[in-house]
């Protein structure tokens, strides 16, 4: 956090006016970027520059800027969320880049996530998958005491790990098949691991997978790329659990 | 214009909520389908309310500016959620949670609301467990608790350092279920631009589709604003970049009173500012104060040497470390409430003992690692440590964290009565958007509690009570009359913004506003500074309306236009905050007037003059608002100076 030399960078940024229009890369340069800035702060500098020049700023999704809301995306130098590990783009810091470097910035590219504008994509398919079964069917009120059913710590911890998914879509963007299996598996696993969610585990797995297929996401061929790029380190062991639940559901049919 | 009737139910404090529920009006299931409710916001309060209204059978429309309800900023809450379960058998009770909250809020909250909050806190935990929220558990399989500031019991439930995320995803799951069933229609990437008031009642809202730019009106029999706080008026805060005060502000300009706008919470443990391009501040959870010890060097020369890079914190021996919270507040130590901890940090830095830039203190885990071992510390705080390292490039297992206070939460908000109804009938406000439960200072882990209490367990009753009388109000055509008129006004406002065609970016104005607010309406305030702030904000507002530049068109996805609309409101809201702070000639909770402090530098309240809620009525952008007072009557809690020593 001390005084460090600023970075001068060339940026190749994907610009696209709308979903139906053709996109292209535009080249910009930014100078004297603090290595302690976040990547999105660097983008802020670029946009400030563009606005003052009377140009249209680059549209990108972001909100909490602390790695938890899942709103930010960006494919940076060929990696979802950029070159650092276990971070979202908003937590990626400029110290990971070298002075003089050319940085290529693209939107998530996947059939399931059409581009809306520039670097913003439409991830509403994830909401649709959730609405198909990503819940435990309980209404507000009339539930038992929180301690009525003891849950082994190991199961609670494992459920928590699966529940860490932020729904950013890096797994889909990075998968050569555009599969949403890691996203679906994380939710199915979390709820199947808990006694409260066990009750409708099979039904949940079946309906979420059916919705995922319907929305045009690809199949999983176990390349493991999703796990590598996941900013929250969601394990592909969850996919194995999803497959098990799905098979059970099919057997019960 | 409405007068302030808080509508507190009769009877002893502990029976008021039950009395209310026993006597309120209900709507039968067949009729619920005929009634429409709009919920603006999809965070803990909004998401929980929308889901529950849907379950009950009402017709619900829910709006969020993000691309999914799961992005709401509730997701960023780290540490935990309070409840009076008393599972640890350490002496907790509903009364004690109520009392701690009133005291923590420096006796500026309404007793009846706070008691209800404490009462329903236990239901929240049960509800979340039933939804599959993976709370931390003990080896025996039961729920684990930890401690937060301002309490001497362990009543905070948590899910790693991601409690807000897990609670929000629980509410989002419940909401998704209703969306799937068709009882809730979700409008993502849609921003509320105004409310529609007809014959004194709120009848709907006007929205802008953030992708297409389309402006349209929506009718409802009741509208709930659950749109969060206005901390981003300071530009730098722990809020999300998009968090804004606009929904509340538009409601204020249509006649809803705005209460206690000067009550802002400054969180003591945030990562210090790194430079001029800083876009937001990152919080380090209050839970860290369970095990971390806060200190600065005892000797000024050590602090100077550290700032000059000649010494490292590890070089300072224990006897030369000033654990100033433990020294000043032995009873609560590092777990004093946030306002107290923030001011103590400022006091040390102002006195010349700050480290790094001079505006930072240490939060040290060396002692916890010695006592508990690295593995335990990692299990408790691993994700927070990782976040700290990613941002600062320093390893908190080896060197102490550096922290400094930052704007975090706004206790002020839209004035609501016991039913969470604003001064406009049919318009309700919940969660951080209302002013209700935290007085002048919110205790840690109580925001999640309040959001979910309002959404799951309060609004479903009180909105129903209102709607029972609306059965005979037919659905209105949102393309006609007052709806159409409001749409035209919104479009004119957008045109006006676009037509300024100046030279400066929206952010440049926002940053300048933030600096005025931080300097004069921040952690310490005085008469002279506040008067200066009012003049400077007025001048800045004028400059904004003559020199802001918004590229592009209003009929497309236009991020600068979104920001401009919000900053235009902040430029008015900031002035009201300064006015409120100026009028409140006392110190209480997060509101610290330098003229009013004890000889030890603690906040000094002036109860005989200011034991009231200050609710402001809008009279015009450039004219002075009217102050209405709701006297606070304390029947159960005796007004005393807070003592954490």
Model pLDDT for residues A127-164, shown as the tens digit of each residue: 999 999 999 999 999 999 999 999 999 999 999 999 99
Contact B375, B481 (CB under 8 A): no
**B579 noted as active-site residue:** no
Q: In this complex, how many residue pairs, one in chain A and one in chain B, have their CB atoms less than 8 Å apart?
A: 233
Q: Does B141 touch chain A (CB under 8 A)?
A: yes
Contact B289, B347 (CB under 8 A): no
User: At B537, is the pLDDT very low, low, confident or very high (cuts 50, 70, 90)?
Assistant: very high
Contacts of B179 in chain A (CB under 8 A): 127, 131
**So what's the pLDDT on residue A3?**
55
Model pLDDT for residues B38-95, shown as the tens digit of each residue: 999 999 999 999 999 999 999 999 999 999 999 999 999 988 999 999 999 999 999 9
Other C-beta atoms within 10 Å of B488: how many? 12
Q: Give chain B's radius of gyration (CA, Å).
A: 24
Q: Calculate mean pLDDT across residues B541-552.
A: 98
The rounded distance, in Å, linking the Cα atoms of A92 and A87 is: 6
Instruction: Judge whether residue A2 has pLDDT over 70.
Output: no
ipTM of model over 0.85: yes
Query: Mind giving me the DSSP string for B473-514?
Result: -PPP-TTSHHHHHHHHHHHHHHHHHHTT--SB-HHHHHHHHH
**A89-to-A32, B176, B273 alpha-carbon distances in Å:** 20, 27, 19
**Residue B399 burial (10 A CB sphere; 0-12, 13-18, 19+):** middle
**So what's the pLDDT on residue B287?**
87
Alpha helices in chain A (DSSP H): 39-52, 124-133, 153-163, 170-174, 181-193, 195-198, 201-214, 225-229, 237-252
Instruction: Judge whether residue B2 has pLDDT over 60.
Output: no
Q: Calculate mean pLDDT across residues B317-336.
A: 96
β-pairing, A102-106 vs A79-80, is unpaired
Contact B150, B291 (CB under 8 A): no
**So what's the pLDDT on residue B161?**
85
Q: Calculate mean pLDDT across residues B288-313.
A: 96
The rounded distance, in Å, linking the Cα atoms of A66 and B26 is: 43
Nearest to B47 by CA among B120, B121, B131, B123: B131
pTM above 0.95, yes or no: yes
Q: Calculate mean pLDDT across residues B374-385.
A: 90
Contact A210, A152 (CB under 8 A): no
Q: Does A85 touch chain B (CB under 8 A)?
A: no
Contact B594, B524 (CB under 8 A): yes
Phi, psi of B549 (to 5 degrees): -115, 125
Model pLDDT for residues A204-253, shown as the tens digit of each residue: 999 999 999 999 999 999 999 999 999 999 999 999 999 999 998 988 88
Phi, psi of B160 (to 5 degrees): 45, -140
Q: Does B143 touch chain A (CB under 8 A)?
A: yes
Q: Calculate mean pLDDT across residues B254-260.
A: 98
Token pair belonging to B7? 């509508």
Most A CBs within 10 A among B279, B285, B404, B498, hence the mutation to make, goes to B279
Contacts of B283 in chain A (CB under 8 A): 66
Q: Does A186 touch chain B (CB under 8 A)?
A: no
All domains of chain B in start order, with CATH: 13-265+409-467 (3.50.50.60), 267-407 (3.90.700.10), 489-631 (1.20.58.100)
Catalytic residue among B70, B108, B146, B338: B338
Contacts of B164 in chain A (CB under 8 A): 68
The rounded distance, in Å, linking the Cα atoms of B344 and B334 is: 11
Rounded to the nearest angstrom, the minimum Cα separation between B451 and chain A is 14
Rounded to the nearest angstrom, the minimum Cα separation between B240 and chain A is 4
Percentage of chain B beyond pLDDT 90 is 93
Sign of the torsion formed by the C-alpha atoms of B266, B388, B166 and B225:
positive
How many CA atoms within 13 Å lie on the side-chain side of B280? 23
Instruction: Judge whether residue A1 has pLDDT over 50.
Output: no
Q: Does A143 touch chain B (CB under 8 A)?
A: yes
Nearest to B146 by CA among B88, B206, B97, B192: B88
**Residue A141 burial (10 A CB sphere; 0-12, 13-18, 19+):** middle
**So what's the pLDDT on residue A75?**
97
Instruction: Judge whether residue A110 has pLDDT over 50.
Output: yes
Rounded to the nearest angstrom, the minimum Cα separation between B50 and chain A is 11
Q: What is the mean pLDDT of chain B?
A: 96
Sign of the torsion formed by the C-alpha atoms of A107, A113, A115 and A121:
negative
Mapping DSSP to helix (H, G, I), strand (E, B) and coil, where does residue B553 land?
A: coil
Q: Does B379 touch chain A (CB under 8 A)?
A: no
Contacts of B460 in chain A (CB under 8 A): 140
Most B CBs within 10 A among A1, A70, A128, hence the mutation to make, goes to A1
**So what's the pLDDT on residue A12?**
98
The rounded distance, in Å, linking the Cα atoms of A232 and A154 is: 19
Query: Mind giving me the DSSP string for B282-330?
Result: -B--GGGGGT-EEEEESSHHHHHHHHTTS--GGGS-GGGEE-HHHHH-T
**So what's the pLDDT on residue B436?**
87
Give me the residue from A34, A68, A166 closest to B275, CB to CB: A34
Q: Does B375 touch chain A (CB under 8 A)?
A: no
Model pLDDT for residues B134-165, shown as the tens digit of each residue: 999 999 999 999 988 888 999 999 998 899 99
Rounded to the nearest angstrom, the minimum Cα separation between A251 and chain B is 25
Model pLDDT for residues A75-105, shown as the tens digit of each residue: 999 999 999 999 999 999 999 999 999 999 9
**So what's the pLDDT on residue B1?**
44
Q: Do A147 and B275 touch (CB under 8 A)?
A: no
Give me the residue from B48, B131, B180 closest to A136, CB to CB: B131
Other C-beta atoms within 10 Å of B412: how many? 32
Residue A38's DSSP bridge partners are A93
Q: Does A117 touch chain B (CB under 8 A)?
A: yes
Contacts of B554 in chain A (CB under 8 A): none
DSSP state of B453: I
Query: Mind giving me the DSSP string for A129-161?
Result: HHHHH-S----SS----TTSS---HHHHHHHHH
Contacts of B70 in chain A (CB under 8 A): 70, 127, 130, 167
Nearest to B431 by CA among B454, B413, B410: B454
All domains of chain A in start order, with CATH: 7-116 (3.10.20.30), 124-252 (1.10.1060.10)
User: At B276, is the pLDDT very low, low, confident or very high (cuts 50, 70, 90)?
Assistant: confident
Q: Give chain A's radius of gyration (CA, Å).
A: 21
């Amino acid at each position: 956090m001390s005084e460090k030399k600023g970075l001068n960078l060339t940026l190749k940024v994907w610009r696209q006016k709308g979903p139906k229009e053709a996109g292209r890369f535009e080249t910009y340069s930014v100078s004297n970027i603090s290595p302690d800035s976040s990547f999105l702060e660097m983008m802020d500098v670029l946009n400030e520059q563009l606005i003052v020049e009377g140009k249209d700023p680059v549209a990108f999704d972001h909100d909490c800027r602390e790695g938890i809301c899942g709103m930010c995306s960006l494919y940076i130098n060929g990696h979802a969320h950029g070159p650092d590990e276990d971070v979202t783009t908003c937590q990626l810091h400029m110290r990971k880049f070298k002075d003089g470097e050319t940085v290529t910035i693209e939107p998530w590219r996947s059939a399931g996530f059409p581009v809306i504008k520039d670097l913003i994509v439409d991830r509403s398919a994830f909401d649709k998958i959730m609405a198909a079964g990503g819940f435990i069917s309980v209404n507000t009120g009339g539930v038992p005491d929180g301690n009525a059913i003891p849950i082994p710590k190991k199961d609670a911890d494992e459920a928590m790990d699966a529940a860490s998914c932020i729904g950013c879509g890096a797994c889909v963007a990075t998968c050569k098949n555009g599969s949403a299996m890691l996203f679906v598996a994380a939710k199915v696993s979390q709820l199947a691991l808990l006694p409260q969610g066990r009750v409708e585990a099979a039904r949940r797995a079946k309906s979420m997978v059916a919705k995922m297929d319907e929305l045009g996401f690809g199949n999983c061929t176990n390349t493991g790329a999703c796990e590598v790029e996941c900013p929250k380190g969601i394990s592909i062991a969850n996919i194995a659990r999803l497959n098990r639940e799905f098979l059970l559901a099919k057997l019960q049919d | 214009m409405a007068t302030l009737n808080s509508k507190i139910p009769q009877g002893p404090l502990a029976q008021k909520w039950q009395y209310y529920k026993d006597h309120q009006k209900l709507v039968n299931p067949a009729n619920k389908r005929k009634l429409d409710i709009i919920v603006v916001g999809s965070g803990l309060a909004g998401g929980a309310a929308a889901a529950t209204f849907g379950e009950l059978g009402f017709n619900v429309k829910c709006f969020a500016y993000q691309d999914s309800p799961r992005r709401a900023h509730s997701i960023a809450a780290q540490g935990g959620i309070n409840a009076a379960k008393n599972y640890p058998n350490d002496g907790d009770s509903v009364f004690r949670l109520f009392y701690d909250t009133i005291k923590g809020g420096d006796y500026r909250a309404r007793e009846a609301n706070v008691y209800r909050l404490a009462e329903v806190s236990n239901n929240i935990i049960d509800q979340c467990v039933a939804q599959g929220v993976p709370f931390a558990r003990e080896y025996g399989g039961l729920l684990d608790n930890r401690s937060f500031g301002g309490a001497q019991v362990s009543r905070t439930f948590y899910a790693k350092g991601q409690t807000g995320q897990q609670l929000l995803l629980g509410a989002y799951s419940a909401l998704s279920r209703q969306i799937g069933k068709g009882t809730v229609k979700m409008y993502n990437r849609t921003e509320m631009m105004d409310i529609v008031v007809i014959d004194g009642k709120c009848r709907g809202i006007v929205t802008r589709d953030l992708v297409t730019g389309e402006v349209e009106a929506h009718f409802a029999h009741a509208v709930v604003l659950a749109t969060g706080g206005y901390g981003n008026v300071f530009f730098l805060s722990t809020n999300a970049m998009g968090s804004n005060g606009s929904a509340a502000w538009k409601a204020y300009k249509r006649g809803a009173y705005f209460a206690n706008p000067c009550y802002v919470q400054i969180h003591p443990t945030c990562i210090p500012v790194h430079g001029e391009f800083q876009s937001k501040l990152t919080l380090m959870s209050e839970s860290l104060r369970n095990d971390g010890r806060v200190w600065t060097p005892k000797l000024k020369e050590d602090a100077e040497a550290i700032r000059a890079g000649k010494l490292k914190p590890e070089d300072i021996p224990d006897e030369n470390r000033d654990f100033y919270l433990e020294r000043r507040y032995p009873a609560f130590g590092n777990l004093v409430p946030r306002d107290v901890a923030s001011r103590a940090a400022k006091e040390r830095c102002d006195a010349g003992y700050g480290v790094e830039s001079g505006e930072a203190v240490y939060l040290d885990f060396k002692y916890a690692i010695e006592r508990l071992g690295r593995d335990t510390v990692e299990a408790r705080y691993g994700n927070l440590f990782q976040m700290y390292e990613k941002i600062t490039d320093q390893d908190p297992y080896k060197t102490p964290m550096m922290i400094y206070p930052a704007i975090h939460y706004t206790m002020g908000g839209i004035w609501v009565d016991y039913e969470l109804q604003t001064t406009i009938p049919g318009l309700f406000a919940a969660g951080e958007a209302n002013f209700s439960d935290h007085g002048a200072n919110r205790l840690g882990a109580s925001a999640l509690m309040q959001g979910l209490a309002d959404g799951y367990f309060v609004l479903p009753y009180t909105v129903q009570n209102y709607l029972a009388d609306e059965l005979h109000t037919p659905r209105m055509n949102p393309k006609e009359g007052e709806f159409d008129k409001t749409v035209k006004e919104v479009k004119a406002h957008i045109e006006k913004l676009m037509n300024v065609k100046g030279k400066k970016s929206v952010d440049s104005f926002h940053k300048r506003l933030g600096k005025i607010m931080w300097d004069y309406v921040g952690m310490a305030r005085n008469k002279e500074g506040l008067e200066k702030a009012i003049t400077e904000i007025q001048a800045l507002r004028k400059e904004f309306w003559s020199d802001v530049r918004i590229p592009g068109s209003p009929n497309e996805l236009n991020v600068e236009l979104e920001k401009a609309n919000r900053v235009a409101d902040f430029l008015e809201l900031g002035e009201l905050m300064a006015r409120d702070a100026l009028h409140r000639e006392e110190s209480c909770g997060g509101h610290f007037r330098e003229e009013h402090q004890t000889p030890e530098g603690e906040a000094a309240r002036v109860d005989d003059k200011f034991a009231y809620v200050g609710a402001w009525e809008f009279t015009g952008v450039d004219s002075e608002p009217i102050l209405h007072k709701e006297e606070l009557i304390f029947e159960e809690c005796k007004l005393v100076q807070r003592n954490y020593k």
